[in-house]
Amino acid sequence: MRPPTRFRCPARCRGERGAATAAAVGLIGVLVTVALAAAWVGAVMAAHRGAQSGADLAALAGATAMVAGGDGCAEATRVAAVNQVTLVSCLADGMAVTVTVTVETPALAGREATLTATARAGPP
């Protein structure tokens, strides 16, 4: 029995050796970049939801304090700090409280963005 012969590439394909490796490395680079971008978008969406939740809770706490005879904006400020958002403005109008909060997004390539959310609580 003869030993198996090793395949030898003809002269015309020798210049293409390693082309699949280069293409695979490039494709892996693209996939990693897309995965990182998707993770960052998910983090920004989570930060936006956190900002909106913080604004909603701060407005509700402020309106509840106003109904109880307290300072609605002071309570809204306290609740915003507990929810890790920055209170930018608070407007107490009768029994209604309108708050605006901000939150920083995670950095991507050294850039950060500030997300803003506004909420109102109280009677119509």
Could you report the per-residue pLDDT of 47-98, keeping only the tens digit for each? 999 999 999 999 999 999 999 999 999 999 999 999 999 999 999 988 899 9
Question: Residue 97 falls within a domain, yes or no?
Answer: yes
Question: Residue 7 falls within a domain, yes or no?
Answer: no
Question: Residue 11 falls within a domain, yes or no?
Answer: no
Question: Residue 99 falls within a domain, yes or no?
Answer: yes
Question: Residue 58 falls within a domain, yes or no?
Answer: yes
Question: Residue 94 falls within a domain, yes or no?
Answer: yes
Question: Tokens at residue 108, please?
Answer: 């991507």
pLDDT band at 124 (very low <50, low <70, confident <90, very high): confident
Exposed, middle or buried, 102 (CB in 10 Å: 0-12/13-18/19+)?
middle
* Residues 85, 119: Cα–Cα separation, whole Å: 13
- Structural domain count of the chain: 1
Question: Residue 8 falls within a domain, yes or no?
Answer: no
What range does the domain containing 67 cover?
18-121
Helix, strand and coil percent figures for the chain, each rounded to 5: 55, 20, 25
Question: Residue 5 falls within a domain, yes or no?
Answer: no
